[in-house]
A and B are shown apart, each in its own frame.
Chain A
Amino acid sequence: MKAFFTVLSVLLVGVLASEEYCYDDVVRACKTTNKLSTSPINCTAKYGAIDGVEEYLQKYVNHHFIRSFEYLLMSTHYANYEKNRLGFEKLFRGLSDETWHDAIELIQYITKRGGEMNFQTVSNDIISEEQQDANFELYELQSIAKALDIEKKLAVEAHRIHGEATRKNSKFHDPEISSHLEHEFMPKHRDTIRKLAGYTSDLSTLLNGPDSSLSLYLFDEYLQKQ
């Protein structure tokens, strides 16, 4: 029993001390007589649950890069002289630009919270996509359908990270991270998803008519003006 209390008090002291990590380290470092302080001072920007959520955020960044390059391929396909659909090119190029810039913003966010970026970590389901010989040279409606699926995946992934950050467990609970995702990412995804879903509705009625080529031509003209 006594031992238990000792352990508990040691733990408590540990917890209390950790609140003033940085200050204590600085005091020690400034006292060092040989001028060169050897131990690193623990004055990082880390607080809350960034350690618990960091890996999910890193993956999220890498998924953005993968999607950005895929959108670039889709855009490229529409810009060749046989497809020659400049509106579709613009649509996918815009999605590629957006995911690219979101990736940079996410890296900046991770480092704002004292974390770091790891470019190697990717979710298994996205690694397995690669084995299925992905095709990005698609017909108009198919390509928008694919983009809609990609955007939904990204949106749901943000929900999942948000879920991790709202777990009532101090290792994960971090309302700042969930709030950042809520305000910086979720509305953008909502709008893109709505836009793409609207396009698939339009195209599936337009392609159900007597002249789908003319419909596609006019729809492409419309996309160019967006």
Chain B
Amino acid sequence: MKTTVVALCVFLSCSIAIGSAVLQCEHKELDIPKEWKDMVDPCVHSMRGQIEEELKAAMQYMAMGAHFSKDTINRPGFAKMFFESASEERQHAIKLISYLLMRGELTSRVSELIKRNLAPKTTSWVTGVEALKDALKLEASVTKKIREVIKVCEDNPTKYNDYHLVDYLTGDFLDEQYHGQRDIAGKVSTLEKLMEKHGALGEFLFDKKLLE
């Protein structure tokens, strides 16, 4: 009995001390059942990696936006499109984060989720077509990586098929990837045809079209 009282006093004394000077900033350890948390490590790991991939894509588009904004390049339509793509990619990262949070993940090691290695590799392009082709390749590589995440989450050494996540990635993310890729491929085609005989004029007109 005595020990309980002592323990209680020790426990209380911290809140009492807080009453005078020390603030109570931390809360107690929680005891929440873990049974509902059913994501397996390899799958969580690959999802965390994909968040960084999306942010890398965002920064790559950011570099394209910056390049086409230059006075000596002067392609405001391209710049606008690429800046928007950059923000979209960031939204994809945020969507993946939200999904993991919904499944009870990201309760630890959040600080390591994004590293400071996101600076874009390529920062200048000879033409608009060149940049669009790079964008198409970038999207294709992202698609491939999402497929790899799906594979890991469907079948891994733990033999745990994460139906819901796989469905989300397939139905939501891949859907957007394929539509996006088709759109860029169409743009490459139109622009390349425009430029066949009218290089400078073709790109000029196409750029203004992108501003509409």
Q: Which residues of A contact B (CB under 8 A)?
A: 44-46, 65-66, 69, 72-73, 76-77, 79-82, 100, 104, 107-108, 111-112, 114, 116-120, 130, 134-137, 139-142, 204, 207-210, 212-213, 216
Contact between chains at A69 and B86 (CB < 8 Å): no
Contact between chains at B120 and A81 (CB < 8 Å): no
For residue B24, CB closer than 8 A to chain A, the reply is yes
Q: How far is the CB of B20 from chain A (nearest CB, A)?
A: 9
Q: How far is the CB of B115 from chain A (nearest CB, A)?
A: 9
Identify B65's interface contact among A66, A69, A107, CB under 8 A: A107
Identify A208's interface contact among B23, B65, B101, CB under 8 A: B23
23 contacts between A and B (CB under 8 A): A44-B71, A45-B71, A65-B59, A72-B93, A72-B94, A73-B111, A76-B106, A76-B113, A79-B97, A79-B98, A80-B105, A82-B107, A108-B69, A111-B70, A111-B71, A116-B66, A116-B67, A116-B70, A117-B66, A140-B25, A142-B25, A208-B19, A212-B25
Known contacts A45-B71, A73-B111, A136-B110; A207 and B23 CB within 8 A of each other: yes
Q: How far is the CB of B191 from chain A (nearest CB, A)?
A: 22
Contacts of A100 in B (CB 8 A): 87, 90
Q: Which residues of B contact A (CB under 8 A)?
A: 15, 18-19, 23-27, 30, 32, 55, 59, 62-63, 65-67, 69-72, 79, 83, 86-87, 90, 93-94, 97-98, 101, 104-108, 110-111, 113-114, 116, 118-120, 123
CA–CA, A104 to B79, complex, Å?
11
Closest B residue by C-beta to A69:
B114
Contact between chains at A73 and B23 (CB < 8 Å): no
CA–CA, A139 to B93, complex, Å?
24
Contacts of A73 in B (CB 8 A): 110-111, 113-114
Known contacts A120-B119, A140-B25, A208-B18; A107 and B114 CB within 8 A of each other: no
